[in-house]
Amino acid sequence: AVGSVVGQLAKARGARAVGIAGGTEKCRYVVEELGFDACIDYKQHADVRSLSAALKAECPGGVDGYFENVGGYILDAVLLRANAFSRVAMCGMISGYDGQPIPMAAPQLILVNRMKVEGFIVSEHMEVWPEALKELGGMVATGKLKFRESIAEGIASAPQAFIGLLKGKNFGKQLVKLI
């Protein structure tokens, strides 16, 4: 859900946007409906080398900016393609939400490429909330920002919906409707 909005905002600002998602259906949606330039199905690339090669094909000029939602070998693969002075916005690390460690294979690439890596928590930026709502709301109203929701019915379905997030069963924002 977050990544789909980030890529559309990047496109709106003139960047080349390359998504990374799990499965052909999600990747097709990312390109054909959301308008990203490309989308890599990470499930077709089980290791860093393979994913990094796919990134090289879609980002021949390297990666200038990466919006991190996942961590793990996906981050490792992106770091291998990162340009000098590239930036990483650290939003989430879902690959570690089951409690497993999230090792980094080559953190020295941050040094070698003089990268800027910065974490953030959305609730600490409430001062720009009205501005963001205005931009995002306007884009939704004019059809420039598209989104999908997966809606689970009833509070009893919340645990299963949350576990589904960790397995990629949601398609777009996972909501639980209280009925």
Total residues binding ligand NAP (CB under 6 A): 22
For position 139 contacting ligand NAP by CB under 6 A, the verdict is no
Distance from CA of residue 131 to its chain's centroid? 22
Q: Among residues 69, 78, 79, 81, which is the contact residue for ligand NAP, using CB under 6 A?
A: 69
For position 165 contacting ligand NAP by CB under 6 A, the verdict is yes
What distance, in Å, lies between the first and last C-alpha atoms of the chain? Answer: 23
- 112 versus 163: smaller Cβ distance to ligand NAP: 163
3-state class (DSSP) for residue 104:
coil
Cross-strand bridge partners of residue 117: 88
Distance of closest approach, residue 86 Cβ to ligand NAP, in angstroms:
19
Total Cβ atoms within 10 A of residue 164: 15
Q: Among residues 70, 78, 88, 145, which is the contact residue for ligand NAP, using CB under 6 A?
A: 70
- Rounded Cα distance, 63 and 86, in Å: 7
Q: Which stretch binds ligand NAP (CB under 6 A): 50-58, 80-88, 140-148, 169-177?
A: 169-177
Return all residues near 135 (Cβ < 8 A) that are at least 6 apart: none
Residue nearest to ligand NAP (CB): 92
Give the torsion through C-alpha atoms of 137, 94, 152, 138, to 10 deg.
0
Q: State the residues that interact with ligand NAP by CB under 6 A.
A: 1-3, 21-23, 26, 69-70, 91-92, 94-95, 120-122, 165-166, 168, 170, 173-174
